[in-house]
Amino acid sequence: MGDDIALGLSRRAALRLLGTTMLAAAAPLRAADSDASRRLRALLDDSAAADARLDPLGAARKGAAAGGPVFVDPLSDAYATTLRANKSAELARLGAIDRAALPPVDQIAYDVFAYRLRQTLAYIADGSFKVAQLTPLNPSFGLQVEFPDFVAGPSAPFATLADYEDGLRRLDGFAGHLDQNVVRLREGLAQGHVQPRIIVENILRQVDALLAIPVDDSPFFKAIGRMPASVTPTDRTRLTLAYRAAIVGKVYPAYARWQRYLRETYLPRAPEAPGRWALKGGNALYAAELARHTTTARSADDIHRLGLSEVARIRREMEQVRGTIGFSGDLHALFEHVRTDKRYYYTRPEQLLARFAAIETQIWAAIPRLFHDRPKAPFAVRPLPALGEQRGTGYYRPGEPDGVSPGILYFNMAMLSTRPIPTLETLTLHEGIPGHHFQLTLARENLALPPLLRFGEATAYTEGWGLYAESLGRELGMFTDPMQWFGHLDMEMLRAVRLVVDTGLHAQRWDRQRAIDYMLANTSMAAKDVAVEIDRYIAYPGQACAYKIGELKFRELRERAAAARGASFDVRDYHRAVLDTGALPMDVLDAKISAWIAAR
């Protein structure tokens, strides 16, 4: 397979997409109504069902039934074999469908599907997938933290007796995954694929913390405390004993075996160098990771230069704010002032939650200025379910696509002292309204879209939209206080810095301390927070670069549309156009909006 396939749509393919879409773009998005559409929708449904069977936890988070095993180990040989077979067969079926015969929404789905299939198959074919399997440690998003969150949170189904029986099988599968993790690490060690020491140390801290939790207080036991009344007393007693036995006899011992292997065997051989460049096969893996997360062909060097430029621009704006508020020290002193002045931090979770609610109310009132549409499902903020002391700030999870279940920002209440109040308006815009909750929920509630688009994922689009949503704050009546505007710039600076430090770590041979120092010099983030962020980039290369690259594309397309439409430009129309088909690769988004501009 060539580079065009490995990186998604080539420039020529993107131009073809633009040309074939322009004639159809004037027509409204509509449901499938042709033989080609029915065949495409059937293929997408089959693909979604196959994906759900391979990722039942992900399917449950999306409110979908997997229809197969309740747990599938992504480190198993069976997973890799099935994934490759599925995607090869799907690409062949897609090639037999006439794209030109499809209506606009299905042409978008066709292009997104083709992009993802080719990228996945190239990722497997060039060996990057196998290297990733042999280096599975991820303190931020590994199953050792994701699975406890899943079973303790609202995503795991625990409404019937059958759900609880499935939950026991899920615990068995997870314990097996921890053992398979050791198997893969051994293989990687034997072949020279060894992850950095800091990743191993962070994983060990997580495992130590989890094993210190009494069984009845563990996230794996949470479901027992919310057992529905429909479960009989006999079954209630049986299940309580069975869950306790599974945790004591399977889950905790599997963690302990993993812990022992990491500490005694793997850690002594783990390198100090934190970047992909130091990993065997790491340069090719990092290029694939950048391509997957940014959905562009931009090189690490190009992204690094972009980051340096953005950091310089934002620093100039910060200097203007420093002058506005009359702060006498330099920018470094202002960062330290925000880090250390207690008035910029809440001390109790209820204070933080009340502030989030007040900000959300203010934003909702102004949404009609910029958007025709709004999601039905509410937005909520809740404490992170587990291991807060060992984790980052938090994350957003959409609810079930029923228009009622809330999308939730899980916030790490153990980090109140490192989350400045001046950043909360920006955080709400990014994670909630009109950011992740708004964008993801609109797509999930749109039943006219195929599952590929309703539940689609594209890091540059999703995180780029979140960052673009932050930039709408002033248009929504936010940032009236100079310090709130400084907080916004501080958050934007974080995303610009990510371009520099991610590529610095993984392509330019930076050590961990240099990356930490660079972030401390350019943001007001607390030292502990910075270390957590840098360790996340070390463990999850490329993802941090997607935010800025995606945001700049949204801004570029808006400016292009405004220039072309002139006085007739309505930003609400633009926002509908970029949101109404869900998350798209950047090439597909560019072609879609270019066609929309030309047709209108």
Q: Are residues 527 and 425 in the same domain?
A: yes
Q: Are residues 317 and 265 in the same domain?
A: no
Q: Where among 239, 272, 305 does a domain terminate? A: 272
Give the residue numbers spanning the domain of 184. 143-272
pLDDT in the model for residue 526: 84
Q: Are residues 253 and 313 in the same domain?
A: no
> Is 195 within the bounds of a domain?
yes
> Is 488 within the bounds of a domain?
yes
The tokens describing 150, both together, are: 């899943």
Q: Are residues 224 and 319 in the same domain?
A: no
> Is 356 within the bounds of a domain?
no
| 3 state SS of 196 | coil
Residue type, 556: E
495 near 551, Cβ under 8 Å? yes
Residues of the chain with pLDDT under 70: 1-33, 64-66, 386-392, 600
Q: Are residues 432 and 321 in the same domain?
A: yes
Q: Where among 213, 245, 272 does a domain terminate? A: 272
Q: Are residues 234 and 330 in the same domain?
A: no
Q: What is the sign, positive or negative, of the torsion defined by CA atoms of 502, 507, 511, 517?
A: negative
119 near 291, Cβ under 8 Å? yes
Q: Are residues 163 and 241 in the same domain?
A: yes
> Is 75 within the bounds of a domain?
no
> Is 530 within the bounds of a domain?
yes
How many domains would you assign to the chain?
Answer: 2
pLDDT in the model for residue 391: 55
524 near 339, Cβ under 8 Å? yes
* pLDDT tens per residue, range 220-274: 999 999 999 999 999 999 999 999 999 999 999 999 999 999 999 999 999 999 9
The tokens describing 18, both together, are: 């633009």
pLDDT in the model for residue 453: 93
Q: Are residues 152 and 195 in the same domain?
A: yes
pLDDT in the model for residue 68: 81
Q: Which residues, in sequence order, are CB contacts of 406 under 8 Å at separation 6+?
A: 377, 378, 379, 380, 399
pLDDT in the model for residue 417: 83
> Is 226 within the bounds of a domain?
yes
Q: Where among 272, 306, 321 does a domain terminate? A: 272
pLDDT in the model for residue 274: 96
Give the span between the Cα atoms of 112 and 92, in whole angstroms. Answer: 15
Give the span between the Cα atoms of 419 and 442, in whole angstroms. Answer: 28
> Is 554 within the bounds of a domain?
no
Give the span between the Cα atoms of 503 and 128, in whole angstroms. Answer: 18
pLDDT in the model for residue 399: 86
- Cis omega (within 30 of 0) for bond into 268: no
502 near 542, Cβ under 8 Å? yes
Q: Are residues 195 and 308 in the same domain?
A: no
The tokens describing 542, both together, are: 């490329």
> Is 535 within the bounds of a domain?
yes
Cα 26 to Cα 219, 300, 594, distances in angstroms: 51, 38, 12
Cα 118 to Cα 17, 74, 270, 432, distances in angstroms: 16, 20, 33, 32
Radius of gyration of the chain (CA): 24
Give the span between the Cα atoms of 471 and 488, in whole angstroms. Answer: 8
Q: What is the sign, positive or negative, of the torsion defined by CA atoms of 281, 134, 385, 398?
A: positive
30 near 103, Cβ under 8 Å? yes
Cα 286 to Cα 186, 449, 463, 531, distances in angstroms: 22, 33, 19, 21
Q: Are residues 474 and 527 in the same domain?
A: yes
pLDDT in the model for residue 12: 36
Cα 300 to Cα 166, 251, 283, 291, 540, distances in angstroms: 44, 40, 10, 10, 15
Q: Are residues 325 and 268 in the same domain?
A: no
496 near 552, Cβ under 8 Å? no
pLDDT in the model for residue 33: 57
pLDDT in the model for residue 525: 87
- Helix, strand, coil in percent for the chain, rounding step 5: 70, 0, 25
Each residue of 67-97: b (16+ CB within 10 Å) or e?
eeebbbbbbbeebeeebeebbeebbebbeeb
The tokens describing 407, both together, are: 């999308």
Q: Are residues 257 and 331 in the same domain?
A: no
Give the span between the Cα atoms of 77 and 352, in whole angstroms. Answer: 45
Give the span between the Cα atoms of 93 and 211, in whole angstroms. Answer: 48
pLDDT in the model for residue 364: 96
End-to-end, the C-alpha distance of the chain in Å comes to 37
DSSP type of residue 368: G
The pTM of this model reads 0.82
